[in-house]
Amino acid sequence: MQTLIPSPVTHEARPKGRRLGRALGFGLTPRALLLLAAALLLAAPSFVHGKTPWLMFGVDAVLLLAMLADAMMLPAPDRFVFTRTFVHAPELGLPAEIEIRAVKSAAGLHTLLLTDELHASMLAPKWPVRGLAYPIEPTVVHYVATPSTRGDVALGKLYVRYRSVLGLAERWAVADLRQTVRVYAAGEGASEQADLFLMRARQIELEKRRLRRIGLGREFETMRDYQTGDEMRNISWTATARHNRLITQQFTTERSQQVWIVIDAGRLSRTAFELRHASVEGDAPERVVTQLDQAASAAGQLARVVAQSGDRYALLAYGRGIQQQLLPGSGALHLRRMIDALSQVRSERAEADHMLASARLRQLQRRRGLVLWVTEMTESAGRPEIVAAVVGLVKRHLVVLVLLQHPELEALAGDAPADARGMYAAAAAQEMLERRRITIAQLRAGGVLVVETSAAGVAADTISKYLEIKAQGRL
């Protein structure tokens, strides 16, 4: 999405340092140091014959003069203007291509050595990156950085070293390209099934359009003069009084439903795991993400599918309090707001307040809607709070509870214990799974649709469930 790309930052270079930077911002290149080291070989005969190595000193003096002349001919730093541009919007765990453009208003060819001051969470290439600066003609250098955290991250200055074709001396400069960029949850490219989901959403929306007929449903369509046979409840008395004749309201079947995406950002959402992808050699670790990162990514993908299906979508992210709240809407601007809000959701150390989220939903959503609630059921001897929270919504809304699983718990419960400690651990895991099964059965009996999935599959499973509900016309 073009609007998510950070704005370019442009600034001319300055000498590195404040007072002495202009005078001392020079250095010798590896080529110069290598030539000076080679000149030491000229002193070898003096160790044999005991003669003073004047030849070596002479060569060193010539080299130093050449280096000084090379340094003095280097253009001033303010003859360079640098621009940092993001080619793509930065997304969590996905390579972001960054472009550094340099424009030089000086003669000659110069080699640029660039080191960009990125945030610690952005995995960058080995510095420096090289470029060749021509007069007037822009020099463009690309590199790739991979963000490992969502939200706002600060990028710093661009540190520059440049040298002439002789390569004996280099000058140091810095361009103030400081900016704050926002890293978003992985979006359209995060799932290989995204295109299939969007195609299915378009197909369902076309099927629904064929079924719409004026006169059915209770969504206002238009007004017209009263005709014999019209229901009395459809008469608009305010319009009748204004026009001095009977006016009837016409309704149509609802064109769009309201879908709430609810994300739990409590303690358990901090759980990290390795997201893997298939490769030729087998399953290889791709990156380490948290459950909240995956939930935010799933919410962004789900919002695109919901919009394609003709429905309106909203967001509620909560911990001990409400972190992000976005009322139902549609369109490109609303999707931008949705993605922006998802990038700001943060995991909390305490358990989330599920009852607070349920109360806020009942307050904001009066009419019937679909609630897709992504959470994880905490282990407790009593009734989990999430159960009471969703039961309070089922009477009015269609609730889908997306519960994240822990495969290691299933593995522990199925392992044959080797000692007493292993036996206790397996028994505890089996008891936890049994309580979970009983709770899920009670939820389903109460009318809650439950989807059990892994953190890696939360996006695909949640979208599949939404499309299934949409195709069945259950909203």
Would you report the helix, strand and coil content of the chain in percent, each value rounded to 5? 40, 30, 30
Peptide bond connecting 128 to the previous residue in cis, omega within 30 degrees of 0: yes
Name the residue with higher pLDDT: 15 or 193. Answer: 15
d(CA 191, CA 465): 16
Largest CA distance in the chain: 127
Q: Give the pLDDT confidence score for residue 282 in this predicted structure.
A: 44
Q: Give the pLDDT confidence score for residue 213 in this predicted structure.
A: 44
Q: What is the mean pLDDT of residues 462-468?
A: 88
Q: Give the pLDDT confidence score for residue 111 in this predicted structure.
A: 92
Name the residue with higher pLDDT: 177 or 54. Answer: 177
Q: Give the pLDDT confidence score for residue 321 in this predicted structure.
A: 95
Name the residue with higher pLDDT: 454 or 45. Answer: 454
Name the residue with higher pLDDT: 23 or 166. Answer: 166
pLDDT tens-digit profile of 282-334?
A: 444 466 788 899 899 899 989 988 888 888 999 999 999 999 999 999 888 99
343 pLDDT band, cuts 50/70/90, is very high
Q: Which of 136, 370, 440, 404 is nearest to 265 (CA)?
A: 404
Which tokens belong to 133?
A: 């600066």
Q: Give the pLDDT confidence score for residue 426 in this predicted structure.
A: 77
Q: Which of 318, 269, 320 is nearest to 293 (CA)?
A: 269
d(CA 241, CA 294): 55
Question: Can you give the pTM of this predicted structure?
Answer: 0.75
Fold of 201-207+258-472: Rossmann fold (3.40.50)
Q: For 228, how many CA atoms within 13 A lie in the half-sphere containing its CB?
A: 0
270 backbone dihedrals φ, ψ, rounded to 5°: -80, -10
The number of angstroms, rounded, from the C-alpha of 329 to the middle of its chain's C-alpha atoms is 21
Q: What is the mean pLDDT of residues 184-201?
A: 60
Q: Give the pLDDT confidence score for residue 212 in this predicted structure.
A: 46
pLDDT at 216 over 50: no
Write down the residue that tokens 């080699």 correspond to. Answer: 111
Burial class (CB in 10 A: 0-12, 13-18, 19+), 384: middle
d(CA 180, CA 194): 29
SS3 per-residue string spanning 275-309:
EEEECCCCEEEEEEEEHHHHHHHHHHHHHHHHHHC
Q: What is the mean pLDDT of residues 12-27?
A: 73
CATH superfamily membership of 2-183: Immunoglobulins (2.60.40.10)
Give residue limits of the domains in the chain: 2-183, 201-207+258-472, 214-252
Q: Give the pLDDT confidence score for residue 455 in this predicted structure.
A: 79
pLDDT at 419 over 90: no
SS3 call for 340: helix
Show Cβ contacts of residue 284 under 8 Å, excluding neighbours closer than 6 positions. Answer: 276, 277
Which tokens belong to 115?
A: 């080191």
The number of angstroms, rounded, from the C-alpha of 367 to the middle of its chain's C-alpha atoms is 32
142 pLDDT band, cuts 50/70/90, is very high
pLDDT tens-digit profile of 426-439?
A: 777 777 778 888 88
Q: What is the mean pLDDT of residues 43-50?
A: 63
Residue 247 amino acid letter: I
300 backbone dihedrals φ, ψ, rounded to 5°: -65, -45
pLDDT at 210 over 50: no
**DSSP string covering 219-280, please?**
EEEEEEE--TT--GGGB-HHHHHHHTS-EEEEEE--S--EEEEEEE-SGGGG-EEEEEEE-S
**DSSP string covering 38-106, please?**
HHGGGGHHHHHH----HHHHHHHHHHHHHHHHHHHTSPPGGGEEEEEEESS--BTTS-EEEEEEEEE-S
215 pLDDT band, cuts 50/70/90, is very low
227 beta partners:
none
Which tokens belong to 177?
A: 């390209």
Of 23-37, 93-107, 136-150, the range with the lowest mean pLDDT is: 23-37
How high is the mean pLDDT of the chain?
82
pLDDT tens-digit profile of 247-264?
A: 888 765 555 689 999 999
Kindly report the number of other CB atoms within 10 A of residue 225's CB atom: 10
d(CA 342, CA 347): 12
Q: Kindly list the distances between the CA atom of residue 281 and the CA atoms of 9, 274, 277, 457, in Å, as whole numbers in the listed order.
A: 41, 17, 11, 22
* CB distance 317 to 263 below 8 Å: yes
Name the residue with higher pLDDT: 221 or 239. Answer: 239
Q: What is the mean pLDDT of residues 154-182?
A: 92
Q: Give the pLDDT confidence score for residue 58 in this predicted structure.
A: 77
Residues of the chain with pLDDT > 90, as a percent, come to: 33
User: Which H or E run contains 159?
Assistant: strand 158-163
470 backbone dihedrals φ, ψ, rounded to 5°: -65, -45
Which tokens belong to 174?
A: 């810095």
User: Which H or E run contains 189?
Assistant: none
